[in-house]
């Protein structure tokens, strides 16, 4: 038996993802109604596939420079600079720069490793993305959560009250996973100013930037050039398994993240980066419109039966369990061949559950029928 004494303390601080547990469970069920995983259900656009295939055939299979291939970096930097023009006076190291990362999670890991010392605190909203506690723990930090129930609106005063001398960063996710909540521009501005005034890094996780249904995307980087933004290709283009993300923020911070990438991930996958260039030219408005329709289909199907806040983005609904704990409700759902995720995976509360509507209409309809039946069970 392998000696437990050899394992580092960080392995005990990092937990197996509850979402992955459900993913594994799905393999044991026959034809499950799977509304659990945040995996886009649409096919990867042919132009993106072809670009990756061409990279393989063109022998672009080796390491790339750590920061990313110049052809992709230049496109991403131009995009970031167009959306977030530099202020008139930019101090040395404050210029915006980009880093191509091995997925959005890879970018978040690099960012936290670059700024968090053991014992430092990182603030985020509750509910939160399942990986946040683990990546903060991996960096040696402590996650501090700010409650956003029942409407999932982040109160800036609560964030300010949570700040201590050990606070090093605030991590935002908008649109949110698991709630689909979108931070309004006024809140984003206030959070950017709060972080700036307190000397704290604000990290904006914008992996779902492409999926806004009730207005244009907003970012706190519009209000402070020191905000670090982490984005991804996986959700928007259906290439989650390709592991392609990017970060943009102050050059000095990006330099340190690149240094850490050099000795960890080395670089983002080479052929995937060429696919990323093709992705930037693909119009996803049709996909987004279809997911907007799916959101409305799910909302209409559960309205009046479940208590929930209509999500403004991403592809998740976060209803309150109509009876028992969320874990008890989800356990009963599994018995009815429906896979959803209990809120305890994303939160200090076990009151809600996450439904992913990244699925076919047929799957969504079946899921709605089962959920309506379960709601009346007790």
Burial class of residue 364 (count of CB atoms within 10 Å of its CB; 0-12, 13-18, 19+)? buried
At residue 94, the pLDDT reads 67
* Cα-based angle 88, 90, 96 (whole degrees, multiple of 5): 110
> Mean pLDDT in each 10-residue stretch from start to end of the chain (378 residues)?
88 74 68 90 94 96 96 96 80 83 95 96 97 94 97 97 98 97 97 97 97 94 96 93 95 96 94 96 95 97 97 97 95 93 95 97 97 88
Q: Which of 110, 114, 148, 109 is nearest to 128 (CA)?
A: 148
Q: Which of 287, 291, 264 is nearest to 105 (CA)?
A: 264
116: left (phi over 0), alpha (psi -120 to 50) or beta: beta
Nearest-angstrom CA–CA distance, 255 and 96 = 11
At residue 38, the pLDDT reads 85
Q: Specify the CATH number of the domain 62-280.
A: 3.40.640.10
3-class SS at 315?
coil
Nearest-angstrom CA–CA distance, 358 and 180 = 13
Domain ranges of the chain: 4-44+284-375, 62-280
At residue 181, the pLDDT reads 97
At residue 29, the pLDDT reads 75
Nearest-angstrom CA–CA distance, 160 and 182 = 20
**Six-digit token pair at 163?**
């700040």
3-class SS at 60?
coil
At residue 83, the pLDDT reads 93
Return the H-helix or E-strand segment holding 172. strand 167-173
Beta carbons of 250 and 226 less than 8 angstroms apart: yes
**The domain defined by 4-44+284-375 carries CATH number 3.90.1150.10:** yes
At residue 21, the pLDDT reads 66
At residue 7, the pLDDT reads 87
Q: Which residue has the tokens 């993305």?
A: 129
Return the H-helix or E-strand segment holding 232. strand 228-232
pTM: 0.94
Nearest-angstrom CA–CA distance, 370 and 136 = 37
Rg of the chain (C-alpha set):
21
Nearest-angstrom CA–CA distance, 150 and 148 = 6
Nearest-angstrom CA–CA distance, 202 and 183 = 14
Nearest-angstrom CA–CA distance, 347 and 62 = 41
User: Which long-range CB contacts under 8 A does 257-265 form with residues at least 24 apart?
Assistant: 257/99, 257/107, 257/110, 257/111, 257/114, 258/66, 258/67, 258/99, 260/110, 260/113, 260/114, 261/66, 261/99, 261/101, 261/102, 261/106, 261/110, 262/66, 264/109, 264/110, 265/101, 265/102, 265/106, 265/110
At residue 109, the pLDDT reads 96
Nearest-angstrom CA–CA distance, 278 and 72 = 10
């Amino acid at each position: 038996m392998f000696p437990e004494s050899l394992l580092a303390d960080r392995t005990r601080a990092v937990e197996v993802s509850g979402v992955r547990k459900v993913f594994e469970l799905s393999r044991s069920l026959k034809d499950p109604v799977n509304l659990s995983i945040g995996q886009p259900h649409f096919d990867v656009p042919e132009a993106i596939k072809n670009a990756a295939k061409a990279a393989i055939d063109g022998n672009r299979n080796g390491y790339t420079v750590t920061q990313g291939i110049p052809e992709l970096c230049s496109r991403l930097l131009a995009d970031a600079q167009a959306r977030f023009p530099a202020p008139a006076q930019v101090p040395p190291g404050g210029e915006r720069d980009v880093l191509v990362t091995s997925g959005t999670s890879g970018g978040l890991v690099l960012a936290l490793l670059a700024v968090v010392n053991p014992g430092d605190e990182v603030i985020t909203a509750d509910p939160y993305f399942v990986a946040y506690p683990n990546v903060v723990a991996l960096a040696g930090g402590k996650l501090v959560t700010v409650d956003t129930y029942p409407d999932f609106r982040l109160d800036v005063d609560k964030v300010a009250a949570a700040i201590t001398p050990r606070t090093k960063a605030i991590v935002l996710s908008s649109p949110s996973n698991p709630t689909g909540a979108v931070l309004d521009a006024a809140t984003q501005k206030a959070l950017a100013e709060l972080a700036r005034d307190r000397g704290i890094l604000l990290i904006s996780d914008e992996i779902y930037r492409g999926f806004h249904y009730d207005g244009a995307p907003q970012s706190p980087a519009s209000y402070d050039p020191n905000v670090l933004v982490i984005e991804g290709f996986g959700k928007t283009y259906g290439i989650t398994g390709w592991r392609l993300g990017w970060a943009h923020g102050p050059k000095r911070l990006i330099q340190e993240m690149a240094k850490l990438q050099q000795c960890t991930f080395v670089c983002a996958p080479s052929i995937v980066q060429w696919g990323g260039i093709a992705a930037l030219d693909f119009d996803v408005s049709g996909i987004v419109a279809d997911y907007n329709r799916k959101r409305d289909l799910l909302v209409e199907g559960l309205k009046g039966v479940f208590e929930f806040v209509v999500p403004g983005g991403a592809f998740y609904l976060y209803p309150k369990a109509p009876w028992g704990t969320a874990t008890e409700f989800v356990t009963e759902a599994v018995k009815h061949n429906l896979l959803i995720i209990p809120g305890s995976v994303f939160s200090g509360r076990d009151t809600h559950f996450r439904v992913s509507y990244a699925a076919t209409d047929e799957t969504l309809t079946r899921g709605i029928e089962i959920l309506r039946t379960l709601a009346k069970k007790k």
